[in-house]
């Protein structure tokens, strides 16, 4: 028969193992991997840059994957396409996000809008 101290020690060990497992599963970190003045995955007519508007609020895009390869292009596309008529971004930060079972990219910046590509309301 186990004594009280043996049961207590066994329980502490199990709680420690579960705690470490939860911390590893829920923890993650992000690393800033780049800053860009202008960034786009779309075809942009450079000769028309003077006609474009810049949205002052920051747009965000993420591509996080578990057990597969994330795409930075997909994250940029999500950020650009979050604004109607978006063709690119300015003042962009790119972060690599890593968790226990997932990895991906997080993009944040101001979207450049081509007025001719805005959808009619």
Torsion of CA 103, 107, 113, 118, to 10 degrees: 30
Distance, CA of 40 to CA of 10 (rounded, Å): 56
Q: How many CB atoms lie within 10 A of CB 79?
A: 26
Task: Report the 10 Å Cβ neighbour count for 23.
Answer: 10
Per-residue CA distances from 116 to 43, 77, 79 (Å):
14, 19, 19
- Predicted confidence at residue 83, as pLDDT, reads 95
In tens digits, what is the pLDDT along the chain, a chain of 121 residues?
Answer: 778 777 777 888 888 887 776 666 666 688 899 999 999 999 998 899 899 999 999 999 999 998 899 999 999 999 999 999 999 999 999 999 988 788 999 999 999 999 988 886 6
Domain ranges (residues) in the chain: 28-117
pTM of the model: 0.74
Contact 116, 62 (CB under 8 A): no
């Amino acid at each position: 028969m186990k004594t009280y101290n043996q049961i207590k020690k066994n329980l502490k060990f199990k709680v420690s193992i579960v705690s470490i497992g939860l911390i590893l599963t829920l923890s993650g970190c992000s690393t800033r991997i780049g800053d860009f003045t202008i960034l786009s995955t779309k075809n942009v007519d450079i000769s028309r840059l003077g006609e474009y508007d810049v949205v002052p609020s920051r747009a965000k895009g993420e591509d996080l994957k578990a057990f597969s390869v994330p795409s930075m292009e997909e994250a940029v596309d999500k950020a650009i396409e979050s604004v109607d008529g978006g063709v690119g971004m300015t003042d962009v930060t790119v972060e690599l996000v890593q968790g226990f079972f997932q990895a991906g990219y997080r993009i944040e910046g101001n979207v450049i809008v081509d007025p001719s590509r805005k959808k009619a309301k």
